[in-house]
């Protein structure tokens, strides 16, 4: 039987969704198939996303932005949007068991000095990590108690 699958979606697939994919692969790759995509994918992952994830002990440098349209027609157990734009524009994926919305600020849109931008990336990275850890606990609770709600 195939693993449950997770698709994380944002606009550019260059920062937030890539960081979420990295954390999920670290924590959940034994139990889930995990990927990310963007509505309008950028050509490369934002270098600051790679840097802050490396600080957290996760290498996402081999990941790459992927177009959401390449996944149309595929089945995903979980579809998670991580920005308002993706939540509004993401097409319906028939067969998705759970569609979740976890909005995070776009660290790539933050303007400031290099130090300030890096701090913003770290802040969003830590928020993503915290949200995924919270979801993992909720998911495990739901497995033990099927009537529990997953957010």
Distance in angstroms (rounded) separating the CA atoms of residues 83 and 80:
9
Cβ density class 27-42: b for 16+ within 10 Å, e for less: bbeeebebbbbbbebb
The domains found in the chain, sorted by start residue, are 5-144 (3.40.50.2300)
- Taking only the tens place, the pLDDT of each residue in 55-65 is 999 999 999 99
* Average pLDDT of the chain to the nearest whole number: 93
**Which residues are the active-site residues?**
10, 83, 90
Has this prediction a pTM greater than 0.75? yes
Q: Which helix (H) or strand (E) holds 38?
A: strand 33-38
């Amino acid at each position: 039987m195939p693993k449950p699958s997770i698709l994380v979606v944002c606009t550019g697939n260059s920062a937030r969704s890539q960081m979420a994919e990295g954390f999920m692969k670290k924590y959940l790759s034994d139990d889930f198939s995990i990927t990310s995509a963007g509505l309008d994918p950028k050509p490369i992952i934002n270098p600051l996303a790679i840097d802050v994830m490396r600080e957290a002990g996760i290498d996402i440098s081999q990941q790459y932005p992927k177009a959401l349209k390449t996944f149309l027609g595929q089945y995903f157990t979980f579809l998670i949007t991580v920005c308002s734009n993706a939540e509004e524009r993401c097409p319906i994926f028939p067969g998705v068991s759970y569609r979740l919305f976890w909005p995070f600020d776009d660290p790539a849109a933050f303007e400031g000095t290099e130090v300030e931008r890096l701090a913003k990336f770290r802040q969003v990275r830590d928020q993503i990590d915290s949200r995924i850890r919270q979801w993992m606990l909720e998911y495990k609770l739901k497995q033990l108690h099927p009537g529990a709600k997953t957010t």
